[in-house]
Chain A
Amino acid sequence: MKLLATTRIQDGRLLFNDTELAHGIGEDSDFLRALYGGLGMDYPKFHKMDRYARLSLLAAEPLYRKLREEGADIVNAVGLVTVNRSASAATDTEHWEPVSRGESASPAVFVYTLPNTGAGEITIRHGAFGPSICLASEHPDCDLLLTIADDMIASQGMTHVIVGWSDIFAAPYWSGPPTLPFAGFALIGLDAGTPITPTGLQAILTPH
């Protein structure tokens, strides 16, 4: 399997293959909106999503653009593997606050209290019907992630797999502000590219 492209969102910048496509500052929501503008996206549903789904959607966007430009079969043949540490914790807290005070929950918030909503929004945005799986772990287990990606390509008929880490809360070994969002996504396939190794994937999926 080859590494075909990467997106990283870190320190307020969105990098596609190390080229900055967008940047933003401010609180999470402002920052994510700035990246959305920077990518020139026109997708009104974006504004209804929680921060985690927005972060995931933004990180995936340049990779699906590349797939679309190259005529890949996004509908049928692109798999998706997502993983993070805090699942949907930021939105869980938002859902729980009114409930803990005895008030009604917001249905628009509650539907985002699952970690696979990031992948769900990506599949909706890009009309991707292929397989996806959502995992939670303290650190990305890149041997496991590559085994899953390889299985999707070798046994489930996928031509490409996108493997992504996105978390509104940064990993514990990250020394930055505790709520700094980070996302690292890798596009993997069989086309020309550099061979992907667990160590190589680790570097993409972790903040540094």
Chain B
Amino acid sequence: MEILLGADHVTCALGSGSTHVLDAMLDGQCGLVPETLPGGIAAYVGRAFPKGADQHPLEEQLLETVASCRAQLSRDVFAADGREAMRSAVILSTTKGEIGFLEKGDTTAAFLPALAERLRIRASLPAAPIVVSNACASGTLAIKLAADLIRAGSYDHVLVIGGDLLSRFTLSGFASLHALSAGPCRPFDRTRDGVSLGEAVAGVVLSNDRALFKEPLGRYIAGGMGNDANHISGPSRTGEGLVRAVNAALRAGDKTASDIGHINAHGTGSSYNDRMEAVAFGRLDMEHVPTNSHKGYFGHTLGAAGVLETILSLHAMHRKQLPASLGANDLDELPPLNVLQSVGTPLSNLLLKTSSGFGGCNAAIFIEA
């Protein structure tokens, strides 16, 4: 069965629309801006939306994303009263959803299913979105789940939306872990010193019907998932979970390391994460593959990251221009990876996208651009 991706939309610190955002990335623009957090902590953040503009800020942004993706389809398969309503689903990828409600003292309004239900009503969806909340691996895992559900025959069309906002909740937590970089994050750089958080929404449709898309963005090949079984907040030193996730995807897709044209890594800019990824890709014999992290451009967008970065990577592969891994000026030498320090060219049209998160979870997907 052929599973295609298309009809995408993104909004992040570099603006709205995949083409526009990719243009800015290829131009070397950084969307991260300095911000002083409570307690006088200096950080850089990737702000995409005006602060405190809406009562339901994430919901509004996700609705715009849903509408934009649907408008690009040749027919609206996601209408609650449509002929294909029973064959369509929406998956929402988020870590903290509308956590702003908790900050205002309304705990239950911050529950993730409450956001899903409001999206169902306001976007007239056939059912409330399925919510994947698997830390920073959520977005990549949501795309994998969408493809698994189509392949299993549960649905023909799945819209995957990812979103997380910058919040005092998350910023204060990362600050308490001393995980924030004082400057813009520098994934894979020798002097990297932490994460820059960002906010974003992103959406993409997966379908087994080519006629749904004016022009498909890619063809889903396979995915894999693995756990580190090591530590609740620190990545594995051996990269075991990531190696297992990628190996599972390689097996499922009948691919080898030599087939891969480009790796868009998780690359948070934290010392341990990037080292873990380098160890894992070394073990997988993928050191030669052109690799980048997008987080130097718009920060770590948590539950949106996997969706956002997959979309942008596929657009980049179509152009045969891979963005440089922004901030990687002085490459960490051990273990060596082919981290792009300037705009690069993919070795083939096969993308490997990986994400890793708290809890020791790792997800990997292969998509042919």
Residue A166, interface by CB 8 Å: no
- Is the Cβ of B169 less than 8 Å from the Cβ of A99? yes
Among candidates B110, B141, B361, residue contacting A89 with C-beta atoms closer than 8 Å: B110
Among candidates A89, A134, A144, residue contacting B107 with C-beta atoms closer than 8 Å: A89
- Is the Cβ of B359 less than 8 Å from the Cβ of A131? no
- Least Cβ distance of A91 to chain B in Å? 11
Give the most central of B224, B245, B359: most A CB within 10 Å: B359
Residue A95, interface by CB 8 Å: yes
User: Within 8 Å CB of A111, what residues of B?
Assistant: 177, 232-233, 358
- Least Cβ distance of A54 to chain B in Å? 13
User: Within 8 Å CB of B218, what residues of A?
Assistant: none
Bound CA–CA A127/B244 (angstroms): 14
- Least Cβ distance of B73 to chain A in Å? 23
User: Within 8 Å CB of A138, what residues of B?
Assistant: 113, 116-117, 128
Interface string of B95-109 (1 = CB under 8 A from A): 110010011000110
Residue A41, interface by CB 8 Å: no
Interface string of A123-164 (1 = CB under 8 A from B): 110111111111111100101100110110001110000000
- Least Cβ distance of A102 to chain B in Å? 6
- Is the Cβ of A134 less than 8 Å from the Cβ of B134? yes
- Is the Cβ of B358 less than 8 Å from the Cβ of A87? no
- Is the Cβ of A120 less than 8 Å from the Cβ of B39? no
- Given A96-B169, A131-B227: A104 and B39 interface contact (C-beta under 8 Å): yes
Closest to A144 in B: B130
Bound CA–CA A147/B91 (angstroms): 15
Residue A86, interface by CB 8 Å: yes
- Least Cβ distance of B212 to chain A in Å? 22
- Is the Cβ of A123 less than 8 Å from the Cβ of B358? no
- Is the Cβ of B134 less than 8 Å from the Cβ of A133? yes
Among candidates B134, B135, B169, B252, residue contacting A92 with C-beta atoms closer than 8 Å: B169
- Is the Cβ of B102 less than 8 Å from the Cβ of A114? no
- Least Cβ distance of A43 to chain B in Å? 14
User: Within 8 Å CB of B231, what residues of A?
Assistant: 124
- Least Cβ distance of B245 to chain A in Å? 8
- Given A128-B229, A135-B130, A136-B131: A105 and B248 interface contact (C-beta under 8 Å): no
- Is the Cβ of B175 less than 8 Å from the Cβ of A105? yes
- Is the Cβ of B225 less than 8 Å from the Cβ of A132? yes
- Is the Cβ of A93 less than 8 Å from the Cβ of B148? no
Among candidates A107, A136, A150, residue contacting B113 with C-beta atoms closer than 8 Å: A136
Bound CA–CA A128/B228 (angstroms): 8
Residue A100, interface by CB 8 Å: yes
Residue A106, interface by CB 8 Å: yes
- Is the Cβ of B232 less than 8 Å from the Cβ of A133? no
Residue B139, interface by CB 8 Å: no
- Given A124-B229, A133-B145, A138-B113: A117 and B102 interface contact (C-beta under 8 Å): no
- Least Cβ distance of A103 to chain B in Å? 9
Interface string of B163-196 (1 = CB under 8 A from A): 0000011001111110000000000000000000
User: Within 8 Å CB of B112, what residues of A?
Assistant: 87, 136
Residue B74, interface by CB 8 Å: no
Interface string of B142-167 (1 = CB under 8 A from A): 00010011011010000000000000
Bound CA–CA A148/B148 (angstroms): 8
- Is the Cβ of B107 less than 8 Å from the Cβ of A133? no
Closest to A138 in B: B113
- Given A120-B360, A131-B225: A148 and B145 interface contact (C-beta under 8 Å): yes
User: Within 8 Å CB of B116, what residues of A?
Assistant: 136-138
Interface string of B63-105 (1 = CB under 8 A from A): 0000000000000000000000000000000011001001100
Closest to B179 in A: A107
- Is the Cβ of A137 less than 8 Å from the Cβ of B225? no
- Is the Cβ of A136 less than 8 Å from the Cβ of B133? yes
- Least Cβ distance of B136 to chain A in Å? 9
User: Within 8 Å CB of B224, what residues of A?
Assistant: 131, 156
Bound CA–CA A191/B231 (angstroms): 32
- Given A93-B102, A147-B152: A130 and B172 interface contact (C-beta under 8 Å): no
- Least Cβ distance of B206 to chain A in Å? 15
Bound CA–CA A138/B172 (angstroms): 28
User: Within 8 Å CB of A150, what residues of B?
Assistant: 152
Residue A115, interface by CB 8 Å: yes
Closest to B225 in A: A131
Closest 9 CB pairs of A and B: A120-B359, A110-B173, A131-B225, A105-B176, A136-B112, A138-B113, A136-B131, A111-B233, A123-B227
9 chain-A/chain-B pairs, Cβ below 8 angstroms: A92-B107, A100-B103, A105-B172, A107-B177, A117-B358, A131-B226, A134-B359, A137-B131, A151-B148
